[in-house]
Chain A
Amino acid sequence: MNSDATPLLDVRGVSYRFLGVQALSNVSAAIGRGEILGLIGPNGSGKTTLLNVITGIYRAMSGCVLLEGRDITHLEPHAVAAGGVMRTFQAPRLFSRLGLLEHAIIPMSAVSRPVSLSSLVCNLGRPWASFNRAATEVLRRVSLTDATGVTAGSLSYGQKRTLELVRCLAGSPKLLLLDEPTAGLNRKETEDFHSLLGALASSSGIAILVIDHDIEFIQALCHRLLVLVNGKLISNGPPERVLADPQVIDSYLGEGLRNAVG
C-alpha cells in the first residue's frame, strides 16, 4: 500500500443533519487503492448515512468528498457510480423480475455508455443479449450461474446478497461500499461471503469499505477500522489498536470483547 499517493477516496470534514439530528459531524477519512476498511459502530451512529453522502443520495452540508482528487460531493448517485464507486444496501435492492445476467448488463452498459440520445440510437440496433458473454464472466467471479427463467425475486436471501455484489462488480468499480452485506445470512453463507470478499480484494485490487457487526470477520479481513459513534469518528487505525482503544470499548464493544481481544 503506497500511503504517499493520492487516496482513492478522501472524505474531509463531512457533516450531515436530519431534522433535529446531527447524523454526521466533521467526519474525515481516506481510503487508498486496494485497501479494505471496516466501518463499525452502534446502530444509528451514521454509518449508512456516510455511505449515502459519499454516493450522492444526500448532499453533505459541510466538508467535501474527493474521488481520486476530483470533488464528487455534489454529484448525483449515477455519476458517482459511473466514477467507480459502487454500493450495496442494508436490504438488498434488486430488480426482482429481471434475470441474473440483466443485473450485470445494466451497470456494465450504463457505466461505459451513459444515458444520452446518441447512446439510445446506437443501442437501437443492439439487443441486450449481446452483452451476455461479458455478463456471464461477472457472474462466474462470484460463482453464480444464470439459468433461464430464474429471476432475482426467486433467489435465496444469500444469493440475493451475492447478486447485489454482481451489480457492483459489473460496473468495474474502484471502490465497493458494502452496507452490512452478511446481515441475515447463516453461518455457512457468511463465511462463504467473507472469503469471496477477501478473494475479490486480493485479485482485483478493488478498495472496499464494509459496514459490519461481525468483529472477528472485520479483524481478519480489514487493513484498517473506522469507528463511528453518534456521528463522530472516534477511532481510525489498524484493528488491533482500534479494538483495544478504551473509548471504542466503552461506546461500542463492551467489556466482554475487551477480554476476548486481550
Chain B
Amino acid sequence: MTIGLLLYYVSLLGITLLLVQSLNLIWRVRLFSLGHHGFFGLGAYVAVMVTKILVPKGAGQLPVGLGQRLEGLGVVAASVLAGFGTAFSVAWVMGRFFRRVRGDYFAVATLIFAEIIRGSFSNISYVGGGLGFEAPYLVLSRVGEERILYEAFYSTALLMVNILVFAIVRRIDGSVYGLYLSGLKEDCIALEHSGVDVVSLQSMLFSWCCGLAGAAGAMFLHFTTLVVPGDFSFVNGLPVILAVAMGGLHSSGCVMAAAFIYIVYEGLKNGFFGLLEWEYAAMASDWKDAILGLILVVSVVSLALRGRRRQVVRRHEEGP
C-alpha cells in the first residue's frame, strides 16, 4: 500500500464522514431522512453542470502552470458552492412541503426523492446519462509526480472541512441548541410548549445539512473525476445510514462508527487493501452488501435487546 493509495482512501473516508456528520445532525432533529444520498448526487450533478459550463474542453488536458491551476481551483470552488446552494434550496423547499408528513412516511418520502434524483439525472445526457461523467483534472492531476500532491491536497482539504464541521457541531451541542436537541429526543411536545419553534429548527438544520451533502457531492466529483449514477444509489448510501444508526445520536459516536464501517466496507470491496488472497477478495466483495445488511439487523436488534434489559433493571431500581 503506497502513501498515495492510503491518502486516496483517507479522502474517500473524508467524504463519507461529511455525509455521516450531516445526516447525524438531521436525525438528531428527529427527521429520519433516508434519502441523504439523493442530495449527495444532486450536488455532484450540479457540479458536473458547472464544470461543463466553465470548462467546455472537458477531460483530457492537464492543468499546467499556476494560472491554470488557480482557475481550476476557482471552478472547484464554484461547483462546491453551487452544489451546496442547490441542495440547500431543494431541502428547504422539501421541508416546507413535508411539514405535515409524519415520521416514517418522511423517511420513505426522502428515499423516493433520492430515487427521483438518480433516475432523472441518469437520463440526462448532458451530464453523461447512464454512462457517467468524467471530469477534467482542474488543480492537480494524478499523473506521475503530481499524484502524491493530488492525494495530499484533497485529503487535507477534506480533513479540514470535517474538523470544521465537527467543531461546529460540538459548539452547537454545548449551547442551548444542544439542550433543544436533547429535549427533542425526550419530548417534542414539552419542547414546543417551552417556546421552541421545533419546525423551524428542523427546517433550518435539514437545509444546512443537506446543503453540506451537496457540497460533499461536488467535492466527490472533483476528487474521483468519474461519477456514474450508480454511485448515488440507495445501496451506496447504506454505509452512511448504518454509521449514523450505529453511532447512536451522538456526534462523536457516529464518526467512529463511520470510520469503522467504512474501513470494513471498503476493505471488503478490495480484499482489505491487498491483504487477502484473490479468491477471498472476490468473495468478500460479492458479500459486502449482504454483510452490511446483516450488520445493520444484528446491531439494531442487539441494541434493542440490551435496552430492554436495561429498562427492566431500571424499573426494578426505581420502584413503582
Q: Do A and B touch each other in the complex, judged by CB within 8 A?
A: yes
A110 near B168: Cβ-Cβ < 8 Å = no
Interface string of A74-95 (1 = CB under 8 A from B): 0011110110001101000111
The smallest beta-carbon distance between A79 and chain B, in angstroms, is: 7
Chain B residues, Cβ within 8 Å of A76: 192, 197, 199
**Complex-state Cα separation, A257 to B99, whole angstroms:** 49
Contact of B175 among A82, A94, A110, A128 (CB under 8 A): A128
The smallest beta-carbon distance between B312 and chain A, in angstroms, is: 16
A95 near B187: Cβ-Cβ < 8 Å = yes
B175 near A167: Cβ-Cβ < 8 Å = no
A120 near B193: Cβ-Cβ < 8 Å = no
- The number of residues on chain B lying at the interface, defined by a beta carbon within 8 Å of a beta carbon of chain A, is 30
A131 near B176: Cβ-Cβ < 8 Å = yes
Across the interface, name the chain A residue whose C-beta is closest to B189. Answer: A93
A106 near B179: Cβ-Cβ < 8 Å = yes
Across the interface, name the chain A residue whose C-beta is closest to B168. Answer: A124
**Complex-state Cα separation, A57 to B189, whole angstroms:** 9
The smallest beta-carbon distance between A226 and chain B, in angstroms, is: 22
Interface string of A14-42 (1 = CB under 8 A from B): 00000000000000000000000000000
The smallest beta-carbon distance between A197 and chain B, in angstroms, is: 19
Residue A187 is within 8 A (CB to CB) of chain B in the complex: no
Chain A residues, Cβ within 8 Å of B194: 78, 81, 106-107, 110-111, 167, 171
Chain A residues, Cβ within 8 Å of B180: 106, 110, 115
**Complex-state Cα separation, A55 to B193, whole angstroms:** 8
Residues of A in contact with B, size category: 35 or more
Contact of A97 among B176, B186, B192, B204 (CB under 8 A): B186
- Contacting B at CB under 8 A, from A90-108, are 93-98, 102, 105-107
**Complex-state Cα separation, A97 to B195, whole angstroms:** 19
The smallest beta-carbon distance between A91 and chain B, in angstroms, is: 11
Residue A147 is within 8 A (CB to CB) of chain B in the complex: no
Contact of B178 among A57, A77, A128 (CB under 8 A): A128
Across the interface, name the chain B residue whose C-beta is closest to A77. Answer: B192
Residue A145 is within 8 A (CB to CB) of chain B in the complex: no
Across the interface, name the chain B residue whose C-beta is closest to A124. Answer: B171
The smallest beta-carbon distance between B317 and chain A, in angstroms, is: 10
Contact of B196 among A57, A78, A93 (CB under 8 A): A78
Residue A126 is within 8 A (CB to CB) of chain B in the complex: yes
The smallest beta-carbon distance between B270 and chain A, in angstroms, is: 40
Chain A residues, Cβ within 8 Å of B193: 55, 77-78, 81, 86-87, 93
The smallest beta-carbon distance between B177 and chain A, in angstroms, is: 6
B186 near A81: Cβ-Cβ < 8 Å = no
**Do A128 and B174 contact each other (CB < 8 Å), given the known contacts A98-B182, A110-B180?**
yes
Most A CB contacts (10 A, CB to CB) among B168, B180, B194, B196 go to B194
The smallest beta-carbon distance between B151 and chain A, in angstroms, is: 33
- Other 7 A-B pairs with CB < 8 A, given A95-B182, A123-B177: A78-B194, A78-B195, A78-B198, A95-B191, A97-B186, A114-B195, A115-B196
Contacts A/B (CB < 8 Å), 21 sampled: A77-B189, A78-B192, A78-B198, A93-B189, A95-B182, A95-B183, A96-B186, A97-B185, A97-B186, A98-B179, A98-B186, A106-B176, A107-B195, A110-B197, A114-B195, A115-B196, A116-B204, A124-B168, A124-B175, A125-B171, A128-B176
Q: State the 9 A-B residue pairs at the shortest beta-carbon distance, nearest first.
A: A110-B195, A93-B190, A107-B194, A123-B175, A95-B186, A81-B195, A111-B195, A109-B176, A110-B196
